[in-house]
Amino acid sequence: MAVAAQRAWQEVEAGCGEPTENPSGAANRKRLCPQVDLDGSAGRYHGGGMSTYPIERAHHANQGGTAGVIELSSLQGREFFLWNGGAMSEVHVRRATLQDEEAVLQLWQEMMDYHAHLDPRFQPSPDGKAHFHAALKEWMDDDTRCVLVAVADGEVIGYIIGRLAENPPVFALRRFGYVTDICVAPPWRRLGVGRKLFAALQEWFRQQGLPVVQLNVAALNPTSQAFWRAMGFQDFLNQLWLDLA
């Protein structure tokens, strides 16, 4: 897994639009012709989205084609298969449940520790994890929030949280989507899991009729900066800090 995670991915474009067998055994999926950048991270659904038509996207590693990714989308949601030397792991995104609490908490702690390492101003409070845990339970039952998890082989490997937000009435844009958290387990990073999580959250935002998504990105986290810009985000506000001590 770790070796595959370091490889560059390249999208396979052959056979676009033709029925094809897929690894799950389902037939008559449509193969997608995406727009692809050099590392295979780009690509747009043709008229697509989670609720349009089934799609299959296949990837292979540059080094010998021994590892790769196959992604399937259907009316039931997105499935994501990691092929690594003959082993295949299915990754799918779904709504989080109470059974996912502990896994999400561990990922949250890892995310907070990482940010605190980059910038001590992100240091959580001693009871920060407990507060997040209590809030997480509420958010899972809150219609104004969406908590999603990515799962592979029965294990939660990532999560994302979004919420409905409102501007003051002085602004023309009243309602927008806001991404509060995202974290992917280290062995699964740079394999498209974060992209899958955000794509599913985008779909939820659209279902709420929201035209815009906003978020904050740590200034000292270049990886996160690059990821969100790859998702299409542009600069909007700069949040400044003044230490009065």
Percent of the chain with pLDDT over 90: 62
Give the predicted TM-score (pTM) of the model. 0.68
Whether the per-residue pLDDT at 235 is higher than 50: the answer is yes
- Confidence at 245, pLDDT banded by 50, 70, 90: confident
CA 185 remoteness from chain centre: 12
What is the arithmetic mean of pLDDT over 234-244?
A: 96
pLDDT digits (tens, 9 = 90+) for 16-33: 233 333 333 333 333 332
Give the CATH H-level superfamily of domain 91-245.
Answer: Gcn5-related N-acetyltransferase (GNAT) (3.40.630.30)
Instruction: Say what percent of the chain tops pLDDT 70.
Output: 64
Express each pLDDT in 103-141 by its tens digit. 999 999 999 999 999 999 999 999 999 999 999 999 999
pLDDT of residue 81: 52
Return the domain boundaries, the chain: 1-85, 91-245
- Return the ∠ at Cα 134 (arms to 153 and 200), rounded to 5°: 45
Output 16 or 183, whichever has higher pLDDT.
183
- Tens digit of pLDDT for each residue in 186-212? 999 999 999 999 999 999 999 999 999
Q: What is the mean pLDDT of the chain?
A: 74
Contact assessment for residue 165 and residue 43, using Cβ atoms and an 8 Å cutoff: no
- Asked if the model's pLDDT at residue 215 lies above 90, the reply is yes
